[in-house]
Amino acid sequence: MNSLPLVGAGPSAGWNPSNILGLQLWLAADKIVGLSDGDPVVTWSDLSGQGNDVTQATPAKRPTYKVDIINSKSIVRFDGADDFLANETFPDPSAVSAFAVAIYAVGAGLNWGIFELTLDLTTNNEGAMLFHEDDSAKVRWINAQGTQQIIGGDYSDGVARVHSVNVESSVLYYRVNGASVGTPISFVSENPYVLDTLVIGGLAGLYEFKGDIAEVIMYDSYLLPANRLRVERYLSVKYGIALA
């Protein structure tokens, strides 16, 4: 069981992601305080209660806070060159359910992850490049030997979407606006959960995301369908994005 009691088909008034147990990360741009339109983002504070803030110490690599972008809500804009935010002590999950509302910039070309779970490759563990795009948006799972498994579609059109990834028992499920995308990825004899760094906005120092991120939510468990739908519906209503 991975939630508080469910009531009805979707989130009720006042519902938020903390109503589901196992919340490890909740970043919401509309909850950022103390910044004006165009200001650099030094720290994006975690609302989960776990203290997993993401930060950027280098001024030139800080993304930009923008207001009134998606359904009159604020976003954090990444330039696709060198912007990213990171947390180097993100806890190891036993499984992953992750959600993001984001816009891939139009014509961005090679455009990497909305967020990425970097593993310690020196010990032959794996890296997870979630919501990766290169000419067409892809989820890419890369292990230490460079083996890759990819699913996805083309999302470089400047449209806001709800993305979700759920990982359980060595199977990764990817959804866009509530609809399954591609075939679930199976990875056998791999350990996808020993994390080293969480990066928001791409693969730090190598490949960065170009576009806008409004919200990121992550749980340390595989959410059952009823709870996954609750999160997707919460994001759908908040950002005015229709689900399939």
pLDDT of res. 20:
96
Asked if the structure places residue 86 within a domain, the reply is yes
Within a domain: 10 = no
Q: What pLDDT is attached to residue 147?
A: 52
Number of domains in the chain: 1
pLDDT computed for residue 119 by the predictor = 44
Query: Is residue 4 situated within a structural domain?
Result: no
The predicted pLDDT at position 122 comes to: 43
Give a yes or no: residue 19 inside a domain: no
Q: Which tokens hold the place of 234?
A: 């919460």
- Among 118, 135, 141, which residue's Cα sits nearest to residue 202? 118
Q: Which residue has the tokens 């009720």?
A: 12
State the Cα–Cα distance between residues 177 and 198, nearest whole angstrom.
Answer: 23
Stretches in the chain below the pLDDT threshold 70: 1-12, 92-94, 107-113, 116-154, 169-170, 185-196, 203-207
Determine the pLDDT at residue 80: 85
Residue 20 maps to a domain: no
Task: For residue 210, tell me if it sits in a domain.
Answer: yes
Spatial CA neighbour of 236 closest among 20, 74, 2, 70:
70
Reported pTM: 0.86
Q: Answer whether residue 33 is part of any domain.
A: yes
Residue 26 contacts residue 47 (beta carbons within 8 Å): yes
Q: What's 22's DSSP letter?
A: T
Q: Is 45 exposed, middle or buried (0-12, 13-18, 19+ CB in 10 A)?
A: middle
CB 18 within 8 A of CB 240: no
CATH code of the domain containing 166: 2.60.120.200
Domain ranges, residue 130: 25-239
Q: What is the pLDDT of residue 91?
A: 79
Q: What is the pLDDT of residue 95?
A: 74
Residue 217 lies in a domain: yes
